[in-house]
Structure 1
Amino acid sequence: MVKRTRLNESDCPVARSVDAIGDWWSLLIVRDLLEGNRRFGEIQRSLGVAKNILTARLRGLVDGGVLEVVPASDGSAYHEYALTPKGRDLFNVIVALRQWGEAHFFDPGEPHSEMLDRRHGRPLRALEVHSFDGRRLGPDDTVVNKVDHPGDVPPK
């Protein structure tokens, strides 16, 4: 079996985030919790994933502080999964992936699920990235400031 490369000590926030999430099943689990599926059986039915894979992903998300195990909301002896504040902060990531998918993987007019504003029942506006002064930013408007590591030789 190939050993998974760990990125949890990388100086790149994207790498650390991908390391924490682990794989695509985990993002779909977070999506399901955002949609209100909280019990193992509900999540398993929604995803159609094998129970052993779901168990491992749920355990990893709990261990990583993305989910927590809570008593069942109906007072039964079962337990449910709930997003922690760290997990709820993935909302923007899920919305961004959803909007990217809508823009690039569906033909015009092709039906698909959509996320609506609960209060008004209307689709969400596209997410945008803005500078500190409110300007809309795109990839050409940003730069990544890399961390210098001790022993790095500066470029000539």
Structure 2
Amino acid sequence: MFSLPLDEAERRARAFSHRLALGTAGSLCAGVGAAFLTVAAWLVLSAGHGAVFAATVIGSAYLGAGLILWALSLRPRQPERTAPPADPYTPFIHMAEGFAAGLEAGRPHAGPAAVTGRATDRPRPAPRLHEAAGPVQRLAWPILRPARVSALP
């Protein structure tokens, strides 16, 4: 019952510790590299211009980098934009819209039968006997109708 939340917490803790370990190792390597580059810059600048000039240039570079990083840390964080939840009826709405669009697109090419529901270019069938008769004959038609003769076996 409680395994899913605990599994999720364990997975998040494992991912956090992994990121923390890699970030610490990366920071340590970057610090060692910065120290060696500082020594190299000191040696080059002090040999050409003197120790005071070397200290001024290297100190100014570190101060500028520190001020830039400090300014970046003061920026307000943008809130994460979450997508609105998907409407479960969206696919059906798109399907109905597509169906209606297809009907509308086909109407001009289908002829008069698509508009009125019946084709006007086809001849109408001849009226049946009870349809051609007057009102009195229509009432009597079920009585006057010939009986069906079934074939006896």
Query: Which structure is richer in relative contact order (CA contacts within 8 A, separation 6 or more)?
Result: 1
Q: Which structure has greater helix proportion?
A: 2
TM (norm. structure 2) is: 0.21
TM (norm. structure 1) is: 0.21
